[in-house]
Amino acid sequence: MRVTVGMSGGVDSSVAALLLRRSGVEVSGTFMKNWEEDDPDYPCTALDDMRDALEVCERLSIDLTVENFTEEYRQRVFREFLQEYEAGRTPNPDILCNREIKFRAFLDSALENGADRIATGHYARVDCVDGRFRLLRGCDRNKDQSYFLYALDQKALSRSLFPVGELKKTEVRRLAAEAGFGNHAKKDSTGICFIGERRFTPFLQRYLFAQPGDIVTPEGRLIGTHKGAIFYTLGQRSGLGIGGVADCEDLPWFVVDKDLSTNTITVAQGNDHPLLYSDALEVVQVNWIAGTAPELPRSCSAKIRYRQPDQHCRIEVMSHERLLVHFDVPQRAVTPGQSVVFYDGEECLGGGVIDKRICQ
């Protein structure tokens, strides 16, 4: 079997390649270049990452090729990313990148070049039951990345391997150190390359036009101005620029609503303000990993953000393209544009994009 590993330069994909090499399969590596931009103030780390990937491949005596997916990334990921912000939602580009680049463009390229499978360093697992491929949580619950993979389909799962999915992160770093990998202690990536460590709003302002507007309380009191409603997300605390407000308690302010038609954001005080909570949400762009929807309505668990503990919910059909999800416990900062992902025990069933939050 021939396997092409998506080498990011990080420790996880490096150990994925190591484990496959030890298993005796024919292994090669591919470094994906997804973004091109010269910015001396906030340089992209892609060149350093590529050097790390090359060093690992040389140590393992496997070939490394570089695939340029910048056009695919701009058209399939970054354009949708901007469109979602223009519509007032907060997208998750990591999920888009997995669906469109790593498990579509990269997968197609690897298969065309003779690979039988691709592999990545994701903390997730795949098995096959009665001819159906299932996406399972990674064994290290602190690193489980199935949330970011819910948009995959049967083709992608049938051709994908996740060699580190059975391991704890500490074990991955130990194996990397024993193998002499220079990146064994490398810090985990915490963002997407085209944003990196930049200040987020100034970056978006390069691509999106927005006008300053009013910041108001739920009672309609004007207490400040903002840089453009599209740049703010529900539950946001930082970057509001609200100082002491007369006749108000000394508590932090949070975004509880925004209205693009009036270019207004509404803020309220307190981490547990009732307006931050929603009892239900509506979901669009639903993907069921099995290829067909389970029998609905049904109860299961769900996450509305990465690392959130499982939340019990009930899924109902609203229309052919829309689901209604009721939670047993109201959820804080349900954010349109983000994803809700469904689970049945260890299995990730799929998920979709949050379109509306419902407060009762």
Residue 309 near residue 321, CB atoms below 8 Å: no
Residue with tokens 């939670």: 327
Q: Are the CB atoms for 276 and 254 separated by under 8 Å?
A: yes
Spatial CA neighbour of 46 closest among 35, 62, 30, 58: 35
Q: Which of 15, 175, 150 is nearest to 95 (CA)?
A: 150
Tokens 């691509």: give the residue: 207
Residue carrying the six token digits 């990545």: 120
What distance in Å separates the CA atoms of residue 331 and residue 337, rounded to the nearest whole number? Answer: 16
For residue 297, cis peptide bond before it (omega within 30 degrees of 0): yes
d(CA 7, CA 118): 11
In the set 44, 57, 97, 300, the catalytic residue is 97
Longest dimension (CA), the chain: 70
Checking DSSP bridges between strand 117-119 and strand 124-129, what pairing results, if any? unpaired
Asked if 334 contacts 278 with a C-beta cutoff of 8 angstroms, the reply is yes
128 part of the active site: no
Q: How far is CA 192 from CA 92, 97, 196, 198, 280, in A?
A: 10, 10, 6, 10, 30
> What phi and psi values does residue 261 have, to the nearest 5 degrees?
-65, -30
Closest C-alpha among 31, 35, 33, 38 to residue 10: 31
Residue type, 33: K
Query: Which residue in the list 44, 128, 139, 193 is annotated as catalytic?
Result: 193
97 is catalytic: yes
Catalytic amino acids? 97, 193
